Amino acid sequence: MDALSTAAPPALALHDVSKRYGRYWALARLTYALPAGRSLLLTGHNGSGKTTLLRLVATALSPTAGRVEVLGRDAVNDRDTVRQNVALLSHASFLYEDLTAHQNLVVLARLLGIPSPSDAAGLLLTRVGLTRRTQSPVRQFSAGMRKRLAIARLLLKAPTLALLDEPFGELDPSGIEAMEKIISELKASGVTVVLATHLIEQGLSLCEERLHLQDGRAVPA
Ligand SMILES: Nc1ncnc2c1ncn2[C@@H]1O[C@H](COP(=O)(O)OP(=O)(O)OP(=O)(O)O)[C@@H](O)[C@H]1O
């Protein structure tokens, strides 16, 4: 077979991508390709465009110009397929506030058709170190507990491409350690990780590639 036709598409490809909010360009003419099997550290000062880029890849936003491709699929024209393969850990955690941590995961597990939803939820809560307060409603959770539950949610979805927006924020030292372990395990299981963080040292130890943004443009780190 022809080697070209069997080559895996990039995990993520940005073709001259720009995003404008009103009159403000949050991303400007970004072109980049992340090879399959590599993970990406996304860095840049506050407001440099990291979250905007992750939301474009997650299909929560559309580009003003240019094209975003995820695993060879167009993020606008083939949005449903891209959504099935991508999960975003973000500042907004999309949790059901009146349900417990366990119930939150069971609801999602049922939606995803996962067998034994309750067991799957229990295993994940242990994995993210959320073993206390599992019967309290999420509205009573601290920011760090929410972050732990949000990563459990992402793990349940088992995406091909995991987008992690400041995953270490709000976590205590044991939480940071648990998050590093989870990211390593995701990578070992073949998941492509895009990690936006200000913790450069952690990021560099977890990712092979780096994209540094400044005012929405890619610049050398
Ligand atoms: N909904 C919005 N409406 C208008 N401007 C926005 C909106 N979202 C983001 N911006 C602007 O776009 C720019 C990029 O923001 P973005 O959140 O992508 O940066 P970031 O690199 O993730 O920052 P941080 O490190 O603080 O999380 C900022 O100037 C921000 O003010």
Ligand 1 site, residue 147, Cβ cutoff 6 A? no
pTM value is 0.93
What band does 1 get if pLDDT is binned at 50, 70 and 90?
A: very low
Q: What is the pLDDT of residue 134?
A: 79
Ligand 1 site, residue 72, Cβ cutoff 6 A? no
Instruction: Kindly report each contact of residues 137-144 with a partner whose C-beta sits within 8 Å and lies 24 or more positions away, as own/partner.
Output: 137/97, 137/98, 137/99, 137/100, 138/95, 138/96, 138/97, 138/98, 138/99, 138/100, 138/101, 138/104, 139/97, 139/98, 141/101, 142/170, 143/170, 144/170, 144/171, 144/172, 144/175
pLDDT in tens, 13-30: 999 999 999 999 999 999
Say which CATH number the domain at 154 has. 3.40.50.300
Could you tell me whether strands 161-165 and 86-89 are parallel, antiparallel, or unpaired per DSSP bridges?
parallel
Task: Say if 138 falls within a structural domain.
Answer: yes
Q: How far is the CA of 59 from the centre of ligand 1 (A)?
A: 16
Task: Say if 143 falls within a structural domain.
Answer: yes
Ligand 1 site, residue 49, Cβ cutoff 6 A? yes
Q: How far is the CA of 53 from the centre of ligand 1 (A)?
A: 10
pLDDT at residue 61 is higher than 60: yes
Task: Say if 25 falls within a structural domain.
Answer: no
Q: What is the ipTM of this complex?
A: 0.97
Task: Say if 24 falls within a structural domain.
Answer: no
Question: CA dist 16 to 22, 63, 99, Å?
Answer: 19, 10, 42
Could you tell me whether strands 192-196 and 161-165 are parallel, antiparallel, or unpaired per DSSP bridges?
parallel
pLDDT in tens, 89-128: 987 777 899 999 999 999 999 999 999 999 999 999 999 9
Q: Which segments of 150-208 are extended strands (E)?
A: 161-165, 192-196
Ligand 1 site, residue 202, Cβ cutoff 6 A? no
High-pLDDT (> 70) share of the chain, %: 97
Task: Say if 76 falls within a structural domain.
Answer: no
Mutate to test the pocket of ligand 1, among 21, 42, 61 (most ligand atoms within 8 A of CB): 21
pLDDT at residue 2 is higher than 50: no
Number of domains composing the chain: 1
Query: In terms of residue numbers, what domain contains 173?
Result: 37-60+83-219
